[in-house]
Amino acid sequence: MNYFILIYEFFKIGLFSFGGGYATIPFLYHLSEVYGWYTLQELKQMIAIASVTPGPVGINVATYAGLKTSGILGSGLATLSEIIPSFILVILISKILKKFHESFIVKSLLETLKPISCAMLLSVSVGLLRPQIFDIKAMILLITLLILSYKSKKDPIFYMVIAGITGIAIKIFL
């Protein structure tokens, strides 16, 4: 039964997560609350690992979450279940968009999805940060990296490396 739930949930994630891999995070957060397949801390670790490994973040997280919940078979099922809806939708939408690409309704729908995706990401980000709000060191690091990224516009990997080194230094020395 766990496999059917896994397939259903990750198919749903693949079907409704518009905006890239990070758009899957609200759904994964929901799965951790509903099924308890992984903790909030494990979700954070999955996102961190998926962000630094090659490939799309959403697929990497699905693979890891499937592995965590149901082993190697679960990993494959979760990954395929998340990919299949996108594959089908891209084929269908490309055929429709060829026909209606100048339609006001189509343009409006696509523009509406952008702020919705941003709001979902913000909501989950706040949920993921909630336990860290009282950790002054984590908040100082977050604010510093936000300011640095806004001012210097370097590659995201640069900030991830800085955050990792700083985190290790804080754990060792403080």
pLDDT in tens, 103-158: 888 788 878 888 888 888 788 778 777 777 778 888 888 889 889 988 988 888 88
Q: What is the pLDDT of residue 12?
A: 92
- The distance of Cα 30 from the centroid of its chain, to the nearest Å, equals 12
- For 109, counting Cβ atoms within 10 Å of its Cβ (0-12 exposed, 13-18 middle, 19+ buried), the class is exposed
pLDDT at 62 over 60: yes
- Closest by Cα among 171, 164, 1 to 74: 1
| Tokens linked to 162 | 């800085």
**Percentage above 70 pLDDT, the chain:** 98
Max mean pLDDT among 17-21, 53-57, 78-82 falls in 78-82
pLDDT at 24 over 60: yes
pTM equals: 0.61
Residue 39, Cβ neighbours under 10 Å: how many? Answer: 10
Q: What is the pLDDT of residue 1?
A: 54
| Tokens linked to 123 | 């909501």
